[in-house]
Structure 1
Amino acid sequence: MSNVYEVSLKDLYEILADVKDKEIVIDAENALLGRLASCVAKLLLMGFRVHVVNIEKALVSGDKRMVIESYKLLLNVKTHRNPYKQSMKRPRNPIAIFKSSIKRMLPKHNWRGKMLLKSVKAYIGMPKEFSGKRIIKIAEVNAEKLGRESVISVLEIAKALGWRGVE
């Protein structure tokens, strides 16, 4: 992957001034999920279409057992209407986990947040259509550079929640 560039956020905004088609590809490998989601939400609010690749390799900081228990806690929430049959839909695959974290950072209660969420696409692995494009890694979201030691990948969280997708 010779076309992967690691840039800081300040340099990223300078690069984005030159982008004509308002489309950007971001690599999520070793990126902290919340920090990556906030950067993607900011890019969406600026009017860019964002493609995020290697989303299964994104990381969540914290003790593995505690992170998985906090995600599983959301699965046990039931409704008052019929608690034995119905419960709230919760994301289980890596793409839905990432998109739900972005959704919380976009405008709520109006049409703009829904339209912005449609402008982000997340992919498991590296699709062939992005092989010739410039792929950006944001330095401020990298878990190794921030010194995070206890981390868990989004793929491990998804498997703990019951997702049976690709390896």
Structure 2
Amino acid sequence: MVTIIDGEGLVLGRLASTVSKRLLDGEEITIINAEKIIISGNKDFIYAKYKQRVDRASISNPRDLGPKYPRRPDDIFRRTVRGMIPYRKAHGRAAYKNLKVNVGIPKELEGQEVVEVEQAQPKNITKSMELGTVSKLLGAKF
């Protein structure tokens, strides 16, 4: 059975840690509305942090050297979860393959039951930015 989680209004790190634990327990998880996941903090700092990650490259050969960092909101979330699981080991790779992340709501998932994640709800967050906004500032088209 696939667990469907709506990412709208949930905090990125808290959601990613909850999802990574569930993935390691063997669940299949699908995230919808990845562009509406929020990142808490100052908008300028958030943008600068992600821009610095995307712009990392070598001076002599900027196209070949990495690490390559994603710009799309679904890929950014997948990368965040990947950092929380041992993806280089067999059980980590198997768990990572059970994660599906979608921008918006796909037609095949409309009307299905969505699981609430209480741990990822924002608490006392005054400054935040949506993942979709960060992606657009980084130049993503989705």
Q: TM-score, normalised by structure 2?
A: 0.91
Does residue 125 of the first structure (1) align with residue 104 of the second (2)? yes
Question: For 1:136, what is the secondary structure of its paired residue?
Answer: coil
> Is the contact made by 2:18 and 2:119 (CA closer than 8 Å) also made in structure 1?
no
What are the superposed Cα offsets for residues 39-95 of structure 1, whole Å, 9 maximum, x if unpaired? Answer: 110110111100001110000000001000001111232248x43443322100011
1:50 equivalent in alignment to 2:29: yes
Does residue 1:25 correspond to 2:4, yes or no? yes
Q: Secondary structure at the match of 2:70?
A: coil
* Runs of 4+ deviating beyond 4 Å: none
Q: Verify: 1:157 aligned to 2:134, yes or no.
A: yes
The residue correspondences of 1:13-162 to structure 2 (distance < 5 A) are 21=1, 23-79=2-58, 82-88=60-66, 89-143=68-122, 146-162=123-139
Secondary structure of the corresponding residue to residue 9 of structure 2: coil
SS of residue in 2 equivalent to 1:67 = helix
Letter in 1 for 2:64: Q
Structure number with larger C-alpha Rg: 1
Question: Cα deviation per residue 1:98-130 (whole Å; 9 max; x = unaligned)?
Answer: 000000000143222222111000111112222
Cα distance in 1 for residues equivalent to 2:106 and 2:54: 31
> How far apart, in 2, do the equivalents of 1:163 and 1:87 lie?
20
SS in 2 for 1:102: helix
Change (3 A) 1:111 1:64: same
TM-align CA RMSD:
1.5
Alignment coverage as a number of residue pairs:
141
**Could you tell me how far 1:163 is from its partner in structure 2?**
0.4
TM-score scaled to structure 1, two decimals?
0.79
Specify every segment of 5 or more residues in structure 1 that has no aligned partner in the other structure, as ranges: 1-20
| Residues in 2 aligned to 1:75 and 1:107: alpha-carbon distance in whole angstroms | 23
User: Secondary structure of the equivalent of 2:19?
Assistant: helix
**Aligned partners of 1:47, 1:73: CA distance in 2, in Å?**
34
